[in-house]
Chain A
Amino acid sequence: MGDLRPDFVGIEALPGDLAEAVLGQSATPETVAAFRKELKLDLPPHVRYVAWLGAFVRGDFGNSLANRRPVADLISWRFANSLLLAGVTALIAVPVAVILGILAALYRNTVFDRLISMATLSTISFPEFFVAYILIALLSVRVALFPSIANINADMTLGQKLYAICLPCLTLAMVVTAHMMRQTRAAIINILASPFIEMANLKGLRRLRVVVLHAFPNALSPVINVIALNLAYLVVGVVIVEVVFVYPGLGQLLVDSVSKRDIPVVQASGLIFAATYVMLNLLADVLSIVSNPRLRNPR
């Protein structure tokens, strides 16, 4: 519940009245008052908060101000689309990032490592839409491989949907992989400095075996943490990518509703984003405790 509060208070505490914003400056005081009454804006904030929270926990998000449809209807389908995009991206990005991270740690300070470090540092610095437009220019305009607009609807089969979201997935995967790969490399190199790795080296084991069987299991705890945190980032990163590719996801809905000042939709979709983000952060903490015995037994 603690998480619901900044959301609601944040919206409530700010100046500016929704009724005036929606009706415009030419509205008479009577119209504004009637509109406020219709939206129950004339009640004091704490009463509205309790009413809103009560409806919210029963799954009732209220109605959109722009088209009067229930917010839950607008959101559910789009949330599923956003999850599809983020899920497919995670399936590609996580294994690639871990393998690249291990390879970079294995061939540390070689040309391969330097190249990959330069490439990932640049990708991290790029805004998502730059990566997206470069991919569109290359893979959809130069070579007409994929569509530049990821338009999907409920009638499409899974295969068609996957084809439509190729470019957005690739964009997100590149950005997320760069982050995860750098942190995986750092975690493994950190472990490589410990005495048991020196012991394994002195026994004459091959480098690949040392890195994969000795260093990686011990680096698992930070790596899992990094993966969960990046998945949390992914949930937010979809917002921009969805706007670039005009993808019917929750992020696109949020941005549209913000510019339309459709507060119930903004509240509900912002809350879903925040809840997903918090859950993944929580998952990161739990997993790092599970994978590290030292954290399981407090001193």
Chain B
Amino acid sequence: MTALLKLLRSAPFSARLGMGMVLITLLAAILAPAIAPYGETAVTGDVWLPASSSHWVGTDNLGRDLFSRLLFGARNTIAIAFLITALSFGVGTVWGFLAATVGGWIDQLLSRGVDILMAFPTLIFALMVLSVVGTSIPALVVVIALLDSTRVFRLSRAVAMDIAVMEYVEAARLRGEGLWWLMRHEILPNAMPPLVAEFGLRFCFVFLFIAALSFLGLGIQPPTADWGSMVRENAGAITFGIYTPLWPAGAIAFLTVGVNLIVDWFLHVASGLED
């Protein structure tokens, strides 16, 4: 714990800025029901009102308060992105560790399978699958998590390959420990640092991916507030010189820039380079 605090205190300005940005967004997401002046789908005024004291950043295409929807959108989008990333890490690391620890034909089978999946651009693949299974939230979560777990598989397999040949793993094996125990108690703790940095990157990627799908009208469906679909709903305003769509789009950018600033610093620390 003290080591973590010391590390945080040594963080450069850019990383601190990133942490601040992520904290603000997380607070907004957690406290949304408490601080939002209006409900998630409540119609409270005219269409595309400019910013005023009653509507801090104006209203959207149906006259709903944009600030409230931004807060609730943070809640929905971040929760779903986090769920997907966690699921993809659960699947990816288990299979990746399994491939590295067992090796042989299981490794070959899994790796070639992942090669085939990765040969396909993710967005196109997701669009095609979603066109058939529909765009319900459970379908979205499972499809994106499975597509994303291929990347996690690659990394966790590569990391576990180096660890699986260590003496302490060999010792545990000779002691008669089972496969699950090896993966859980010998490999996982030693593979943590690269996996944590990757978690941040994958979260960013998944978050942008959902935003893109929602923007295309194939992700989270209205009336649920979500930053990507809010950009889509208000896109028409921009040609009238009303900057409403820039708010949700900017919110997406704000969070991803924050996460990237932290990950950048984390990778820098992990690589041990001086400049």
A residues at B contact (CB < 8 Å):
2-3, 5-7, 10-11, 14-16, 108-109, 118, 121-122, 124-130, 133-134, 136-137, 140-142, 148-149, 232, 235-236, 239-240, 243-244, 254-255, 257-259, 261, 263, 266-267, 270, 273-274, 277-278, 281
Contact = CB atoms under 8 A, between A and B. Distances in A.
Contacts of B216: 239-240, 243, 255
Interface in B196-241: 204, 208, 211-212, 215-218, 228, 231, 235, 238-239, 241
Interface string B246-275: 100110110011011100100000000001
B102 interface: no
Contact of A125 (B132, B218, B235, B260): B260
Contacts of A140: 239
Contacts of A243: 215-216
A30 to B, nearest CB: 24
Contacts of A124: 260
A129 B212 CA distance: 8
B208 A127 contact: yes
Given A108-B275, A122-B253, A127-B252, A270 B215 contact: no
Contact of B264 (A121, A137, A270): A121
A129 B133 contact: no
B243 A129 contact: no
Given A14-B133, A137-B238, A258 B246 contact: no
Nearest to B133: A14
B116 to A, nearest CB: 6
Given A122-B253, A127-B215, A243-B215, A277 B120 contact: yes
B128 interface: yes
B212 A127 contact: yes
Given A14-B132, A258-B131, A277 B121 contact: yes
B218 A10 contact: no
Could you tell me the dominant secondary structure of chain B's interface residues?
A: helix
B124 interface: yes
A125 B256 contact: yes
Nearest to A126: B253
B217 A259 contact: yes
B238 A130 contact: no
Contacts of B134: 16
Interface residues of B, number: 46
Contacts of B119: 3, 6, 274, 277-278, 281
Given A14-B129, A133-B235, 12 more contacts: A6-B120, A10-B129, A127-B249, A129-B231, A130-B231, A130-B253, A148-B239, A236-B124, A258-B128, A259-B217, A263-B132, A270-B128
Nearest to B130: A258
A126 B252 CA distance: 7
Interface string B107-136: 000000000110111111101111111100
B253 A125 contact: yes
Contact of A273 (B124, B132, B208, B256): B124
B58 interface: no
7 contacts: A125-B260, A126-B256, A127-B252, A236-B122, A239-B123, A273-B121, A277-B120
Contact of B239 (A141, A263, A266, A278): A141
Contact of A7 (B128, B131, B215, B260): B128
B245 interface: yes
B78 to A, nearest CB: 15
Nearest to A128: B212
B14 interface: yes
Contact of A6 (B117, B249, B257): B117
Given A129-B249, A137-B238, A137-B246, A274 B124 contact: yes
Contacts of B120: 3, 6-7, 274, 277
Contact of B215 (A121, A240, A266, A278): A240
Contact of B275 (A109, A129, A141): A109
Query: Which of A137, A142, A148, A258 has most B Cβ within 10 Å?
Result: A258
